[in-house]
A = this chain, B = another copy of it.
Amino acid sequence: MRYRKIPDEAVRRLPVYLRAALHLSGRGIECTSSQGLADFIGVEPWQIRKDFSYFGDFGVPGVGYNLSRLIKHVNRILRLDTGPKAALVGVGNLGTALLTFPGFRMYGLEIAAAFDIDKRKIGRRKAGVLIEDVAALSDLRTRGIDLGIVAVPEATSQQVIDALAQAGIKGILNFSPRHVVVPRGMKVITIDIAMDLARLPYYVPAG
């Protein structure tokens, strides 16, 4: 890890800032203040300045942020500048949605391989990606793949995470809400869609 003592919450917000910067830059805007960025995202400007301060100072006082420099800087912090590749395991409905999802490319991310256990799917292509036998997971690192995306049924998620760990994968995006044991040295980010829906009624007045 290159940076220490940086709260996960700050890291979580960096892609939000990156997306906003890409949007504004795409509209032809060259510079913006933390206020301009904050208004676009819907956070407080001090939050943005504080988060960026963990990674050195990007802004120029009185001028603000040069967007192309900001994008480059955040890409480097998040290691997106290396064009990270991910292997997807599980090409069901969710996996297929992920393969066809247009949002990854914006961040320089690519799903470069897909695996399934279903013989009828193996050998076919989805969104241009060949579906391979999950038994052939082992040589991911030699293919330049560092990340894993787990979109399998709950009952097999632990097994798949262990297999990805053995294949040298150090970071996983996990869509299975089941409690998993994370192998040493691996970072697992779990997306539990139900959890996001579960906090929605809090904001909605009854009746």
Contact = CB atoms under 8 A, between A and B. Distances in A.
B149 A198 contact: no
B187 A203 contact: yes
A29 interface: no
Interface in A191-207: 191-206
Nearest to A146: B204
Interface stretch (A65-73, A74-82, A113-121, A156-164): A74-82
B97 A197 contact: no
A27 to B, nearest CB: 11
Contacts of A109: 194, 197-198
Q: How many copies does the complex hold?
A: 2
Interface residues of A, number: 60
B173 A107 contact: no
12 contacts: A11-B203, A12-B199, A19-B177, A93-B97, A101-B193, A103-B193, A103-B194, A106-B194, A107-B194, A107-B195, A146-B201, A191-B196
Interface of A: 1, 9, 11-12, 14-16, 18-19, 23, 40, 77-80, 82, 84, 86, 92-94, 96-98, 100-104, 106-107, 109, 146-147, 149, 154, 170-173, 177, 179, 187, 189, 191-206
